[in-house]
Structure 1
Amino acid sequence: MVPDSLPVADPGHDVLRSLCGGAVHLPGDPAYEEVRWPWNLQVDARPAAVAYPAFPSEVTDVVRHAAGLGLRVAPQGTGHGAPPLAGRLEDAILLRTSAMTELHIDAERRTARVGAGVRWGDVVDRAAPAGLAARHTTSPGVGVVGSSIGGGLSWYARHAGLQCSALTAVELVLADGTFVRATETADADLLWAARGGHGGFGVVTALEFDLLPVSGVYGGMLAWDWTHAPRVLGAWAEWAADAPEDVTSIARLFQAPDEPWLPAEVRGRRLLLLDSVAVGDPERSARLLAPLRALQPELDTCAELTPGSVATLHLDPEAPTAVYANSVLVDDLPDQAVEALVHAAGPGSGSELLFVEIRQLGGALSRPSSRGGVLDSMNGSFLVLGVGTDTGAGWPAVREDAARVMDSLRPWTTDSTYLLMADEAVDERRGWPESAWQRLMAIRAAADPDGRFVPPHSSRRQA
């Protein structure tokens, strides 16, 4: 364990403090207690040091000095996905990339170049005036790099596939401090690993990826009291099974807190929400969503959207928050599965999860991408995600609520895991096909033979 205060006279610690223009904080330093916290405040990590590099050369300095001090390195952008790192950072330098904010949109080539500290909201705002959209997460505050190299589900996923498949170049620092620019023609194995490999092979300092031309976007939120969940979820699941790839939707059982970041008509209520986004001709898109609107929601915000409004459609909190999340992939959602889910998370269940959502997959997500990558498709028709906060009963109770929801769907669950939405300890080999896992491990070993980088998940099999 790292002591609460490291001796200032230690030459190694003095060297660390001199890196990154002095933006390195060790236990006992005045700012350490503030900077060690990730976005997800559930994680009370105490790394050996926290460093804020602004340039790739500063990343190189940190990586090389870490090796000399026998420390590991854990890159982190926003820290939305920090829970799997809990208890694994005491011998590591937490390398925060938030100062690496380069962002360039090439409207003619329909591409973006982003530094490791850029968040999706920034990309959306810069791309929209050029008539372009990104395969961004449902929360604008999530970091581009972490979500991209982990896979990247978006509102355009059924139409355009995973964000990781859009990557055309990745720049990173390897364990020996070497800076590499990986493309299809140079260090292609590292680009392949970055397309869904979730890290562990280097510190990504920048990404380049394709953007999507946007001719029209239509969608919004439909809301019912959650007592209507059995009827509406069953109808939605039947509609989703045959829906065109132009539309991506998410159903949620939402126990909304009474917080100012939520719309007034949602605050403090228990609701069933259907969020959807369709691309293409708005009139055609309206016809696609007509069967859902015919279910008589009490709130209907469906209309033509701007790419910017799509980024905030999901009502995710942007301020740092303590949350726990876990998920499963399911092959199908028959009436029995809907009944089991509502029983575990809906009215009368006793669940205090903030929300349980069902993300519609399929479409382009069900087919291997034409660009090779460790994760090039999703093994399931839906992703079911449970998210909770500590409402007073404690985190064990939150985990029990989430586990009960996931267990209720066991008859329809696949053998795969989407690692970006798994806070619980999980064998990361379930994140990819076996052959892809083997190749990824070989690439990690070549890039980091001494295990300098802390992998995002453990590779140990769980019982």
Structure 2
Amino acid sequence: MGPRRSRKEASVNTPLPPVATTDPATLSLREAFAFLDDRIAGRVLISGDPGWDAARSAWNLAVDQRPTAIVVATTTDDVVHTVRMAAELGVAVAPQATGHNAGPLAADDGLAGVILLRTHEMRGVEIDAEARIARVQAGAQWGDVVAAAAPLGLTALAGTAHDVGVVGYTLGGGVSWLARSHGLAANHVVAIELVTADGAARRVDAENDPELFWALRGGGGDLGIVTALEFGLFDVPTLSAGMLLWPIERTAEVLTAWSEWVDGLPASVTSVARVLRLPPMPELPPFLSGRALVVVEVAMQEDPARADELLAPLRALVPEVDTVHPQSTAELLQLHMDPPQPVPGHGDGMMLDELTPAAIRAFVDAVGPDASSALLSAEIRHLGGMMDPGVARAAASVHGTPQPGVTAGFAAGFLLFGVGIAMPDNGAALAASLDRLLSAVEPWRADIDYLNFAEHARPAERFFGDDLERLRAVKRSVDPARVIRSNHPIG
């Protein structure tokens, strides 16, 4: 207790950043945060405290988060106390686990007047193998879930990297390597534990507060602070996955063949086409390090013979490298080659209605071999199958499972995302390259956007369309004072 009290005394004497509060003195806030620190199992940090800069860092190191205070929560009670304190102080609370997609959250004011509630230490995972249900805490990452489920022969609808947070990914929808056959991860959530703006801990499902349950599944993080999720796991008996690589000079040829190949594919196949410009890095294999490439990544729930049959049109292009092989679903976390640790980045995405020959030409002109692009990766993901919202809702009706939430799927054919590593000397070039890519494909842009791939703020109508007013009614009912802050507010 001695060192803990000394740390607090030092914090009280540290100036706080400006906050949106009517309190007559900043000292009252310092005292309130010290009081909160005493009451929770976790810890409260303010500017100047040891660990402050690490705690405020987002996964994207280019994002500058400057909140009024940070609470590192370790229990649901910590979350309850924090929300109640925030309401009393007249400040907001922004939950954050890994800090993916934090750019829109900190864009305007750096989170002034906001308590950043970090949940990354709440990483418990429980698996009910018989029921094929996972229960995960707020800070769990997909690597945690896969490590627990895979030895039991079960598969989660995980993100493309081990360190993606389960909660944020799922609340935004969740597009996995199995999404064309299984739909969005949000559609398979069976229960949600959360703390709402009144400081109440709730558990909602299809029978208990079904309207809030509907809104949370794909509505993002604006409705409450989720402390645990329960969702379905699956038996995926056969899988072949990997990548096919060609030199970047063959981008137009490969993308044309890929766009024709995906037309009519069974829902058992999910694939991504991307252009990579990789820097020389010793941790990369020689066939990738320092190379500019066009790549097709595939995950195929087919036996090897059928996978070979389906891949024949792409293999006829004679890829320089072909890594497709039978594997466990746990290996899918490595397929997309996401950075293994936080990096500074600049990126954004959009959805496309279709991928016409003209759209392919525009994409190639923006990022292909003759483009002076600073982007590390420009990718196009094939959607459809169970990601079609009508198909997802019809399947739920047939199987007697709960109807999907606000984001059942996407009325779009493809998902595009471009990103580069932000360095001190390439900011202008990187921004120009991303703008060039997004502008080039704008004519084929769909009417909807995907929360998890929207790295910059945009109107809520872009995410929720005709469901927005219903969603806003739920927000008003559970958070009329807008205590909860998210990266993509409902409004």
- 1:8: how far off? 9.3
How many residue pairs get matched?
A: 459
> After superposition, what is the alpha-carbon deviation per residue over 1:378-430, rounded to whole angstroms, capped at 9, x for unaligned?
12111111111224444343222112111111221111111211112211221
Aligned ranges 1:169-208 → 2 under 5 Å: 169-208=191-230
Amino acid at match of 1:330: L
Amino acid at match of 1:41: L
SS in 1 for 2:263: helix
SS in 2 for 1:409: helix
- 1:262: how far off? 2.7
Amino acid at match of 1:272: V
Comparing 360-369 with 113-122, greater Cα deviation is found at: 360-369
1:407 aligns with 2:443: no
Aligned ranges 1:60-99 → 2 under 5 Å: 60-86=80-106, 87-99=109-121
1:266 aligns with 2:288: yes
Match for residue 479 of structure 2 among 448, 455, 458: 448
- Tell me, in whole angstroms, the C-alpha distance in 2 between the residues paired with 1:203 and 1:421: 21
- 1:288: how far off? 1.4
Question: 2:475·2:490 contact (CA, 8 Å) conserved in 1?
Answer: no
- Tell me, in whole angstroms, the C-alpha distance in 2 between the residues paired with 1:2 and 1:421: 33
What is aligned with 2:414? Answer: 382
Match for residue 232 of structure 2 among 188, 210, 234: 210
Match for residue 102 of structure 1 among 100, 107, 124: 124
Match for residue 437 of structure 1 among 445, 463, 468: 468
| Length-normalised TM-score, structure 1 | 0.95
Aligned ranges 1:242-391 → 2 under 5 Å: 242-368=264-390, 369=392, 370=396, 371-391=403-423
In structure 2, do the counterparts of structure 1 residues 322 and 262 end up closer, same or farther at CA, with 3 Å as the change threshold? same
Question: 1:192·1:373 contact (CA, 8 Å) conserved in 2?
Answer: yes
- 1:267: how far off? 1.0
Question: 1:66·1:73 contact (CA, 8 Å) conserved in 2?
Answer: yes
Amino acid at match of 2:217: R
Comparing 216-225 with 100-109, greater Cα deviation is found at: 100-109
| Length-normalised TM-score, structure 2 | 0.90
Question: 1:221·1:275 contact (CA, 8 Å) conserved in 2?
Answer: yes
SS in 2 for 1:404: helix
Comparing 90-99 with 403-412, greater Cα deviation is found at: 403-412
Query: Could you say which structure has the larger radius of gyration?
Result: 2
- Tell me, in whole angstroms, the C-alpha distance in 2 between the residues paired with 1:389 and 1:459: 30
Question: 2:344·2:423 contact (CA, 8 Å) conserved in 1?
Answer: no
Comparing 281-290 with 147-156, greater Cα deviation is found at: 281-290
SS in 2 for 1:236: helix
1:53 aligns with 2:73: yes
Unaligned runs of 5+ in 1: none
Q: Where in structure 1 do 4 or more consecutive aligned residues deviate above 3 Å? A: 4-10, 391-397
SS in 2 for 1:376: coil
In structure 2, do the counterparts of structure 1 residues 449 and 418 end up closer, same or farther at CA, with 3 Å as the change threshold? same
* Percent sequence identity over aligned pairs: 40
- 1:51: how far off? 0.8
- Tell me, in whole angstroms, the C-alpha distance in 2 between the residues paired with 1:25 and 1:2: 11
SS in 2 for 1:433: helix
Comparing 69-78 with 406-415, greater Cα deviation is found at: 406-415
1:152 aligns with 2:166: no
Unaligned runs of 5+ in 2: 1-14, 20-25, 397-402
Amino acid at match of 1:455: S
1:27 aligns with 2:47: yes
Question: 2:42·2:78 contact (CA, 8 Å) conserved in 1?
Answer: no
In structure 2, do the counterparts of structure 1 residues 22 and 310 end up closer, same or farther at CA, with 3 Å as the change threshold? closer
- Tell me, in whole angstroms, the C-alpha distance in 2 between the residues paired with 1:26 and 1:49: 5
SS in 2 for 1:222: strand
- 1:26: how far off? 0.7
Question: 1:8·1:14 contact (CA, 8 Å) conserved in 2?
Answer: no
- 1:32: how far off? 1.2
> After superposition, what is the alpha-carbon deviation per residue over 1:65-97, rounded to whole angstroms, capped at 9, x for unaligned?
111112100000100111011135111110011
- 1:9: how far off? 9.2
Comparing 99-108 with 113-122, greater Cα deviation is found at: 99-108
Question: 1:425·1:458 contact (CA, 8 Å) conserved in 2?
Answer: no
- 1:446: how far off? 0.8
RMSD of aligned C-alpha atoms? Answer: 1.8
- 1:459: how far off? 5.5
- 1:286: how far off? 2.4
